[in-house]
Amino acid sequence: MTERTLADIPLSVLDLSPILEGQTAAEAYQNSLALAQHVEAEGYHRLWLAEHHNMPGIASSATSVLIGHLAGGTKTLRIGSGGIMLPNHAPLVIAEQFGTLESLYPGRIDLGLGRAPGSDGRTMQALRRDLRSSGDDFPQLLEELRGYFAGTERVHAVPGEGLNIPIWLLGSSNFSAQLAGMLGLPYAFAGQFAPNHMMMALDTYRQAFTPSDVLDKPYAMVGMNVVVAETDEEANYLFTSQQQHVLKLFRNDLGKLQPPVEDMDSLWEAHEKHSALSFLGASVVGSPAKVRMQMELFLSRTGADELMINTAVFDQQKRRESFSRLMEIRKQS
C-alpha cells in the first residue's frame, strides 16, 4: 500500500441535511445547497446524501429528490447517495431515478448503496419492507439493479439503461466489504459511526478484491468526522452538537441538531460518555495544526484512497469555515 498524504487524495463531503433546532426541513435544504456551493468552490470532489427515515433531525429521506436539487444548484461537484438503502426499494425504481439524475446532470451522479433499513422496525413496515429481512438478499437486488443499467433484464429502465452511473457499496461491517471486493466495485466505509470495525472491513475489501471492468485495483473511501476551528477549544465546543446527537441516539430521543454547549459532562453519564466517544472514534477535532497531524495519521493507518468528511456543526457559517480550513490544510500538506 503506497504511503499517501492529504495532498494526494480527494476530499469529499457527507451531508445528512440536518434540521437544526428551531428550523424546518425547508431551511435544512437551503443550508445543504449553500454547503454544496461552498465546497464546490473550495475544490471538494463529491458530496453525498444519505437515506434515513423517521428521524426528526435529518431531512434527506427523499434522497434522490434532494440529489437533484443540489446537482441543479452546482456545476462541477459530483452529487450522490451515501447511500440509498436498496432493500427499501424496487431496483427498477432506483435505476429509473438515477437514470433520470444522470440524464439531467451527466457525469456528475454517484449511486452509493447500502443494505440497512435506515430506520426502525415500524418504519420498515411503513416502507413495505419485510420485517424478517436482514438484508441478505442485497446481492440479488444489486445484481438486478446492475442488470437494468446493463440492459440485460426483460424490463427496460427508461432512463437508466445504457448509462454509466458509478455504483459504490457502502458498509459498516464485513458483508458489503466482501461483496464489493468480489465484484470489483469501489467501497465506502462508514468510519464516522463505526470506527471499531473499520480496519477489519478495509482489510476484507482489499483481500477479496477481484479486478473488474469497473476497477483494476481496490478503491476505498473512508468516512470520518472532522471539525476545524481557529483553536482546539473552539473546535471542541462546536463538536458538542454532534456529541449531543449521538447521546440522543443512544437514548432513542431522535430530535433536531442542538446548539453547542460548554459542558457535555453535565448532559451524559459516565457510561454514555464512554459509548459516545467510542462511536465517534474516527473523529478529528481541533485547530489546523492538530487536525493536520491527526488526519495524516488517520490516512497512514487506513490507506484510504479518498476521505469523506462529515461536519455536524450547528452554526452553518462555522460549518462552512471548517470545510475551508480543512481544504487549506490539504493544500499545505
178: left (phi over 0), alpha (psi -120 to 50) or beta: alpha
- Evaluate if residue 297 carries a pLDDT over 70: yes
Q: Which residue has the cell 458538542?
A: 240
Give the residue-averaged pLDDT of 26-30: 98
pLDDT score, position 1: 53
Identity of the amino acid at 118: G
pLDDT score, position 116: 79
pLDDT band at residue 127 using 50, 70 and 90 as cut-offs: confident
Question: H-helix or E-strand containing 95?
Answer: helix 91-104
pLDDT score, position 176: 95
Alpha-carbon gap, residue 133 to 178, rounded angstroms: 20
Cβ neighbors of 159 (< 8 A, separation 6 or more) are 96, 99, 100, 102, 103
Q: Structural domain boundaries of the chain?
A: 6-332
Tens digits of per-residue pLDDT, 82-125?
999 999 999 999 999 999 999 999 999 999 999 876 556 677 77
Tens digits of per-residue pLDDT, 50-77?
999 888 999 999 999 999 999 999 999 9
Which three-class secondary structure state does DSSP give residue 24? coil
Alpha-carbon gap, residue 257 to 275, rounded angstroms: 19
Cβ neighbors of 276 (< 8 A, separation 6 or more) are 243, 246, 247, 250, 268
Record the pTM: 0.95
Alpha-carbon gap, residue 77 to 299, rounded angstroms: 23
pLDDT score, position 132: 55
Count of C-beta atoms within a 10 Å radius of residue 225: 23
Cα 291 to the chain's mean position, in Å? 20
pLDDT band at residue 203 using 50, 70 and 90 as cut-offs: very high
Average per-residue pLDDT for the chain: 94
Number of H helices, E strands in the chain: 11, 9
Cα 152 to the chain's mean position, in Å? 30
pLDDT score, position 46: 98
CATH of 6-332, one of 3.40.50.300, 3.30.70.1150, 1.10.10.10, 3.20.20.30: 3.20.20.30
Give the residue-averaged pLDDT of 217-243: 98
pLDDT score, position 260: 98
In sign, the C-alpha dihedral spanning 238, 191, 213, 159 is negative
pLDDT band at residue 316 using 50, 70 and 90 as cut-offs: very high
Q: Contact 79/71 with Cβ under 8 angstroms?
A: yes
Give the residue-averaged pLDDT of 291-316: 97
Give the residue-averaged pLDDT of 275-293: 96
pLDDT score, position 118: 53
Q: What DSSP string describes 169-232?
A: EEESSHHHHHHHHHHT--EEE-TTT-GGGHHHHHHHHHHH----SS-SS--EEEEEEEEE-SSH
pLDDT band at residue 134 using 50, 70 and 90 as cut-offs: low
pLDDT band at residue 181 using 50, 70 and 90 as cut-offs: very high
pLDDT band at residue 128 using 50, 70 and 90 as cut-offs: low
Alpha-carbon gap, residue 45 to 10, rounded angstroms: 6
Q: Contact 51/85 with Cβ under 8 angstroms?
A: yes
Which three-class secondary structure state does DSSP give residue 14? strand
CA–CA–CA angle 245, 236, 49 (5° rounding): 45
Burial of 216 (0-12, 13-18, 19+ CB in 10 A): exposed
pLDDT band at residue 2 using 50, 70 and 90 as cut-offs: low
Give the residue-averaged pLDDT of 164-172: 96
Cell numbers representing residue 204 in the block: 476484507
Cβ neighbors of 42 (< 8 A, separation 6 or more) are 323, 324, 327
Alpha-carbon gap, residue 66 to 95, rounded angstroms: 16
- Evaluate if residue 135 carries a pLDDT over 80: no
pLDDT score, position 271: 96
